């Protein structure tokens, strides 16, 4: 990996000597180093937006934060179960924000906050800390979630309950607290991360409570969207297909054949990379989607269309 990165970095430097190669070890060069400033629709900019993302220490949540930073966000709360990982992620994102930019670390305000989204009190504390630091929250993404594979007859009830507590109630607490704070400030955007599993039944692995939890999240978003539409708080859903994160790697490590099965069931023939979701999350979180609420965007390589 390191050799590939340095090859790409030197190729970029040859083609554009003004490009500054970032120090970060985990920067992915394809999307992180602009060779020139591309022209984009201003409504997609996250400049000036205060963001809060749950489950953001790693995986898709972390990728969403990277996409926001790449789109100009400099003020953000990284909310996750483990404080040290959340703070470490905040440090890395701060460095990323300064790459190829006039920004210095003191211009960037990205903080890591410990929170268990299954506890309403914990979510309220995370928002309180964010508001104390930044005064407002404009875009919130509820990405914290877990998956487990048990056949229905074998699934221990305490684990089912824990899954719903995180995936369903955690998304609800996150959205409710967001709207409580967004309504008085004049509005905001909330994105709940569901899954293609809200629409289809994954095979061959059994995961009934997960599928049901994601269908609940999808419908929750539509319901909340109607409740808060007139208050200018939008609630939408991003539903990824199979993406290469720790969550899926844990499953695939136990069963390498499964990867081939998943790829063969996906029309585009591959598992998604986390940054395949960057465009969709920025669209939903930014003013680019300002007349969209209660909707779902599926980014799944075509899985759900066949």
Q: Is the peptide bond before 301 cis (omega within 30 degrees of 0)?
A: no
Q: Looking at 32-40, 132-140, 246-254, 291-299, which segment touches ligand NAD (CB under 6 A)? A: 246-254
Among 34-42, 79-87, 219-227, 289-297, the segment contacting ligand NAD (CB under 6 A): 79-87
Q: Is 210 a catalytic residue?
A: yes
Q: Determine which residue in the list 27, 33, 49, 58 makes contact with ligand NAD, applying CB under 6 A.
A: 58
Decide if 49 is catalytic: no
Q: Does 195 bind ligand NAD (CB under 6 A)?
A: yes
Whose tokens are 């201003």? That residue is 42
Our answer to whether residue 283 is catalytic in this structure is: no
Give, for 65, the enclosing helix (H) or strand (E).
Answer: helix 59-70
- The answer to whether 134 and 188 are in contact (CB under 8 A) is no
Q: Shortest Cβ distance from residue 175 to ligand NAD (Å)?
A: 13
Any contact of residue 202 with ligand NAD (CB under 6 A)? no
Q: Which CB, 130 or 143, lies closer to ligand NAD? A: 143
* Residue among 50, 51, 57, 221 that touches ligand NAD (CB under 6 A): 57
Per rule CB under 6 A, is residue 283 in the interface with ligand NAD? Answer: no
The CB-of-208 to ligand NAD minimum distance in angstroms stands at 14
Phi and psi for 148 in degrees, rounded to 5?
A: -145, 150
**Catalytic residue (choose from 139, 195, 197, 278):** 195
Number of C-beta neighbours around residue 242 at 10 A: 24
Helix (H) or strand (E) holding 79: strand 75-80
Of the residues 127, 139, 189, 210, only one is catalytic, namely 210
Token pair 């390589």 is at which residue? 301
**Binding test (CB under 6 A) with ligand NAD, winner from 59, 206, 209, 294:** 59
| 266 binds ligand NAD, rule: CB under 6 A | no
**Side-chain half-sphere of 70: how many Cα atoms within 13 Å?**
22
Minimum distance from CB of 225 to ligand NAD (Å)? Answer: 19
Tokens encoding 264: 């063969």
Helix, strand or coil for residue 290?
Answer: coil
Q: How many Cα atoms sit within 13 Å of 131 on the Cβ side?
A: 14
**Catalytic one of 71, 214, 242, 283:** 214
Separation between Cα atoms, residue 27 and residue 223, nearest integer Å = 38
Q: With contacts defined by CB under 6 A, how many residues of the chain interact with ligand NAD? A: 30
Shortest Å distance, C-beta 253 to ligand NAD: 13
Question: Judged by CB under 6 A, does residue 174 bind ligand NAD?
Answer: no
Q: Can residue 27 be called a binding residue for ligand NAD (CB under 6 A)?
A: no
Closest of 52, 95, 105, 89 to residue 70, by C-alpha: 95
Contact between 294 and ligand NAD per CB under 6 A: no
Residue 21 neighbours by CB distance under 10 Å: 17
Say if CB 142 and CB 117 are below 8 A apart. Answer: yes
Residues 143-172 that bind ligand NAD (CB under 6 A): 143-147, 166, 170
Are 77 and 53 in contact by the 8 Å Cβ rule? The answer is yes
Catalytic residue positions, numbered: 195, 210, 214
- Contacts with ligand NAD by CB under 6 A lie at 54-55, 57-61, 80-82, 115-118, 143-147, 166, 170, 193, 195, 240, 242-243, 245-248
């Amino acid at each position: 990996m390191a050799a590939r990165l340095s090859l790409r970095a030197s190729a970029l430097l040859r083609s554009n000597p003004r490009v500054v190669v970032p120090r970060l070890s985990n920067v992915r060069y394809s999307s992180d180093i602009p060779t020139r400033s591309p022209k984009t629709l201003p409504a997609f900019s996250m400049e000036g937006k205060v963001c809060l993302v749950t489950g953001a220490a790693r995986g898709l949540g972390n990728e969403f934060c990277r996409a926001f930073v790449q789109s100009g966000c400099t003020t953000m709360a990284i909310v996750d179960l483990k404080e040290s990982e959340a703070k470490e992620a905040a440090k890395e994102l701060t460095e990323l924000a300064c790459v190829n930019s006039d920004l210095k670390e003191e211009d960037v305000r990205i903080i890591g906050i410990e929170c268990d989204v299954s506890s309403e009190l914990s979510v309220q504390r995370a928002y309180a800390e964010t508001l104390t630091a930044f005064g407002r929250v404009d875009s919130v993404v509820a990405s914290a979630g877990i998956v487990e594979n048990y056949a229905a007859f074998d699934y221990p009830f305490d684990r089912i309950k824990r899954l719903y507590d995180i995936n369903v109630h955690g998304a609800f607490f996150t959205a409710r607290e967001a709207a409580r704070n967004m309504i008085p400030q004049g509005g905001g955007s909330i994105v709940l991360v569901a899954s293609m599993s809200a629409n289809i039944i994954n095979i061959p692995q059994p995961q009934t409570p997960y599928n049901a939890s994601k269908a609940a999240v999808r419908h929750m978003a539509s319901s909340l969207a109607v409740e808060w539409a007139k208050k200018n708080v939008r609630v939408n859903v991003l539903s990824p297909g199979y993406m290469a994160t720790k969550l899926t790697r844990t499953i695939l490590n136990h069963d390498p054949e499964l990867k081939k099965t998943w790829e063969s069931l996906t029309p585009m023939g591959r598992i998604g990379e986390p940054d395949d979701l960057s465009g969709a999350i920025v669209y939903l979180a930014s003013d680019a989607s300002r007349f969209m609420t209660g909707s779902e965007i599926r980014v799944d390589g075509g899985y759900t269309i066949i």
